[in-house]
Structure 1
Amino acid sequence: MRCFLTAGTFMLAVGEMRAQATGATGFESAATTIRGYAVPVSNLMKAIAAVIALVGAFNVYFKMQNGDQDVKKTIMLTIGGCVAFIAMSEALPMFFN
């Protein structure tokens, strides 16, 4: 009876070790794949910042032509959005190194 319990315990331990090795390989594969996406996502964020700058410039121009009072606020929001996206696009690859 002891022999069967010992063999059963050994089989469970070996099975758990194999499962952990497979899980570690899966996590490593996922981490490598995500690292591969860091540069394209960074470039996409820079492109989004460029679109924000263009739309913001047109928005500021139209507000200035209409004589609105919140032109400074619109300029600051546009610049803030561009700076935030560019900062995030530069910081993103640092998280995956």
Structure 2
Amino acid sequence: MSSTLEQIRVHFGHTDLYKILHVKQSATESELKTAYRKQALKHNLDNADATEKFQLLCTIHAVLSNADSRALYNETGEIDADTSADTKSFNDW
């Protein structure tokens, strides 16, 4: 399991990216973006734990918004290290 997935498990209690965003596996790009924003709003960036959760939410959104990364996650349950390192989701905020 990647270290990113381990961080996700620590902060969210599991590694099901869809459950974290409260969306179905068939969620559209628009639904993913809306769910990502709702979850991001729940975390106050004034403390370190919330900051890390927000960064992980950015990674989750990046993985599920990229067709190749999403397919890899759906098939293997793993996150491509390149996608998790190169998240542009913060810019979507």
TM-score range for the pair, normalised by the shorter chain length: 0.3 to 0.5
More helix by share: 1
Structure of greater relative contact order (alpha carbons < 8 Å, 6+ residues apart) = 1
